[in-house]
Amino acid sequence: MDETGLLPCAVPSGPAVAKVLPLLRAALAGTGPALAPYAAGSPAPATAGETVRPGTALVVGTSGSTGTPKRAVLTAAALTASADATHERLGGPGRWLLAMPAQHIAGLQVLIRSIVADTAPVVLDLTGGFRPEIFAAATASMTSDHRSSRLYTALVPTQLGRLLAHPAGVAALARYDGILLGGAAAPPALLRRAGEAGVRVLTTYGMSETAGGCVYDGRPLTPTRVRIDEEGRISLGGATLAECYLGRPDLTERAFHTGADGTRWFRTDDVGRWVDGRLHVEGRVDDLINSGGLKVAPRLVEEALVAHLGGVLEAVVVGSPDPEWGEAVSAAIVMDGPAPTVRDVRDRLRGILPDHALPQRLVTVATIPLRGPGKPDRAAVRGLFVFDGANWQDHG
């Protein structure tokens, strides 16, 4: 089969993102080259000598949480299937507000959905950080210019939390017909606050290899299939899957395969289970904590911390080395109020979590280290538990 070249595409921030739309539209239509997006001002991806099949629209880097980032090869058909399925779930096409970097798959899909819907996206200028007042002003401009359009946006939990804490942010959120929330696990308390404020939030699960979110509120989108094996590992199948990893046939063979019925499957690095007919993702396989020979899913501990300890805004739980237990359940928390002691935390969560999942170490931080849009940097969090005599509390 003939192959074609790949064009590195610098993606600016703010309204200048509009310059990328013609290139992206051409890539989707097959009238222009496939694009390898990257953040303007950062080094361009190495594409010399790399080729892709006709029909390829994007080559998108993964978040790289397990080492060297991989690059997922996505066809125009996969990307548009994802956009169409999103609009179907939301209730129809509409106008989108881009509130995150557009070189990542979540931001790119906001642009792609806009192209598919034939609407002009509004782009926030994030150079000064994400601010509720700017979000509210952008939302007001959208509603005044296009009163008949359905309005959508995509956010990460930190952004949603900031908006819910700001009166203008809450008013702006209520104007949207749907808000996709992804990038990291959404604390149940945050979702409850959104619901109480009359904000329609749909949690999303997906990755670059699935052209973005493909499971909303625990339910697969129309083209998506979900399987969970005996070890709890999640596989995703259907029309939105990437073709392969660019230049890595070894990784492609390990992660992708075609079933007997012709369905293509991607074996994720996540574990999960079905709860009342909905997919509940418990975290990555390599994030599971082995404490005293018993496995602990960090997400379950994180959800318990936010749900049952007053004042905990965010929590990330990791395993840190321990000479007795192998790994100690270690929690980094962001507080709105006085910081609890590790004993306070253990006493409050005893009976809610099994004893082996109760945090053994605790550190309070101003912000959670991030990698990518909204994703906690678990390696950096583990680094917080290098004992210096004062950095973290041990339950003893």
Is residue 114 assigned to a domain? yes
For residues 265 and 197, membership in a common domain is answered with: yes
Q: How far apart are alpha carbons 23 and 119 in whole angstroms?
A: 16
Q: How far apart are alpha carbons 345 and 49 in whole angstroms?
A: 55
Mean pLDDT of 245-273: 93
For residues 267 and 139, membership in a common domain is answered with: yes
Number of domains composing the chain: 2
Higher-scoring residue by pLDDT: 61, 2: 61
Identify the domain containing residue 208 by its residue range. Answer: 75-279
For residues 247 and 338, membership in a common domain is answered with: no
Residue 340 contacts by C-beta under 8 Å, 6 or more apart in sequence?
309, 311, 348, 362
Q: What's the CATH code of the domain at 206?
A: 3.40.50.12780
Q: Is it the case that residue 147 has pLDDT exceeding 80?
A: no
Q: What is the DSSP letter of 15?
A: G
Is residue 310 assigned to a domain? yes
Is residue 14 assigned to a domain? no
CB atoms inside a 10 Å sphere around CB 331: 28
Domain boundary among 252, 279, 306: 279
Helices (H), 260-393: 298-308, 342-349, 378-383
Domain boundary among 237, 255, 279: 279
Is residue 344 assigned to a domain? yes
For residues 138 and 94, membership in a common domain is answered with: yes
Whether this prediction's pTM lies above 0.85 is answered by no
For residues 171 and 80, membership in a common domain is answered with: yes
For residues 250 and 375, membership in a common domain is answered with: no
For residues 225 and 109, membership in a common domain is answered with: yes
For residues 245 and 108, membership in a common domain is answered with: yes
Domain boundary among 279, 305, 330: 279
Could you tell me if 374 and 184 are in contact, meaning their C-beta atoms sit under 8 angstroms apart?
A: yes
Q: What's the CATH code of the domain at 374?
A: 3.30.300.30
pLDDT of residue 150: 93
For residues 157 and 227, membership in a common domain is answered with: yes
Is residue 176 assigned to a domain? yes
pLDDT of residue 127: 82
For residues 172 and 229, membership in a common domain is answered with: yes
Is residue 90 assigned to a domain? yes
Is residue 297 assigned to a domain? yes
Among 129-133, 255-259, 281-285, 391-395, whose mean pLDDT is lowest?
Answer: 391-395
For residues 109 and 158, membership in a common domain is answered with: yes
Q: How far apart are alpha carbons 254 and 257 in whole angstroms?
A: 8
Among 57-71, 94-108, 186-200, 259-273, whose mean pLDDT is lowest?
Answer: 57-71
Is residue 15 assigned to a domain? no
For residues 246 and 294, membership in a common domain is answered with: no
396 pLDDT tier (thresholds 50, 70, 90): very low
Q: Is it the case that residue 128 has pLDDT exceeding 90?
A: no
